[in-house]
Structure 1
Amino acid sequence: MHRPRRILVAGSSGSGKSTLARKASDRLGLPYTETDSLYHGPGWTVRESFVADVDDFTSGEAWVMEWQGSAVRQLMIDRAEVMLWLDLPTWRKMLQVTRRTLRRRLARVELWAGNTEPPLLAILTERDHIIRWAWRTRHEYDPWLERLCVERPGFVVRLRSHAQADAWLASHSSR
């Protein structure tokens, strides 16, 4: 079986893109960088080098990365061999993003460039709080991904559960 060497992981916020990307990196022995680490600067600003950093990383022969960032979306598609689409039920994504946000906030986990999750009450006041963002954008990329399924048969692997994702990894891994 062909083992892809340039893999994108797609899905809405909270679907588990980073977790799956890390697993793919580990099991397939491919370099991984978290897209958010290239995107977010101090104070949640966008890093000026974001596009150049993604361009540099994806110009390599092998890599795994989450598919996000409108400025680099097409560049990533053009360079990837396969896209793993985590298309989980909404309840599952919302449960995951809520648990992750609570864990990060309560433990004061440092994310990218010194940023941390905002206070929990911010969910009530900030339109772009990650939990509200996840709900509002939960279907935003579906039309793109569905179109890619038609335009590039075999490029998008639609995974509707973590078990399906693990099975795909197992079938492409020698570990």
Structure 2
Amino acid sequence: MPLLGPTDPLPHRPRRILVAGTSGSGKTTLATRVGDELHVPHVEIDALFHGSGWTRRPSFEADVHRFSAEPAWVTEWQYGLVRAHLAERADLLVWLDLPRARVMRQVVRRTLVRRLRRERLWNGNVEPPLRTFLIDPEHIVRWAWNTHAKTAARVTELLHQRPELTVVRIRSRAQATRWLNGPLRRTVGEHFRDCS
């Protein structure tokens, strides 16, 4: 199947959706909106992964296998431990392919706001002190910069492995909104017409 754009019709109503993109691209925000639009549960994968002290929860893989066995869900496509499994189960992948400059603005702003507000994230974690940007090679801002190009390679590889998978490429917030309000919403309307 060819790569679809934000105005291309979807071939079916999706039930198991992955949202791909680098850190800070807006995956969780879009996944939440997709879940709301389709009336399917959004499982925030970061909440399953991060235990206290930013450690990986021992039950992470089992938790992912449990929810992904369900007939309908939406989640973010990340974490190498489960990425292939989720890709096998998905019937739609939405690729947030935003420019690096846009992603960096978003991730820096989000990180600053979370740190300054001491916002509690998954399992009581908070963003580390801002100075860690200089010393931690896996600081989220540095991670977003260094991994920006990796999503494109992963999506390309997935398209070779699963050419039948529907993949939608989104390049801006405006395109995301256009896709949500257009092609995605139309699949919901078509579903209700089919059931009547």
For Structure 1 versus Structure 2, the TM-score category normalised by the shorter chain is over 0.9
Once the two structures are superposed, the pairs formed by residues 25-36 of structure 1 within 5 Å of their partners are: 25-36=35-46
Give the structure-2-normalised TM-score. Answer: 0.85
Where structure 2 has 5 or more consecutive residues not aligned to the other structure, the ranges are 1-9, 190-196
1:81 aligns with 2:91: yes
Alignment partner, residue 128 of structure 2: 118
Residue 150 (structure 1) shift: 4.3
Alignment partner, residue 184 of structure 2: 172
Where structure 1 has 5 or more consecutive residues not aligned to the other structure, the ranges are none
- Is contact 1:34–1:66 with CA below 8 Å preserved after alignment? yes
- After superposing on structure 2, the runs of 4+ consecutive aligned residues of structure 1 that deviate more than 4 Å are none
Q: What is the percentage of aligned positions where both structures have the same residue?
A: 51
1:143 aligns with 2:153: yes
- Structure showing greater radius of gyration is 2
Once the two structures are superposed, the pairs formed by residues 148-167 of structure 1 within 5 Å of their partners are: 148-151=158-161, 152-153=163-164, 155-167=166-178
- 3-state SS in 2 of match to 1:48: coil
- 3-state SS in 2 of match to 1:85: strand
- 3-state SS in 1 of match to 2:150: coil
Residue 168 (structure 1) shift: 1.7
Separation in 1, partners of 2:165, 2:61? 27
Alignment partner, residue 7 of structure 2: none
Greater relative contact order (Cα 8 A, min sep 6): structure 1 or 2? Answer: 2
* Higher deviation after alignment, 73-82 or 151-160: 151-160
What is the root-mean-square deviation of aligned Cα atoms in Å?
1.4
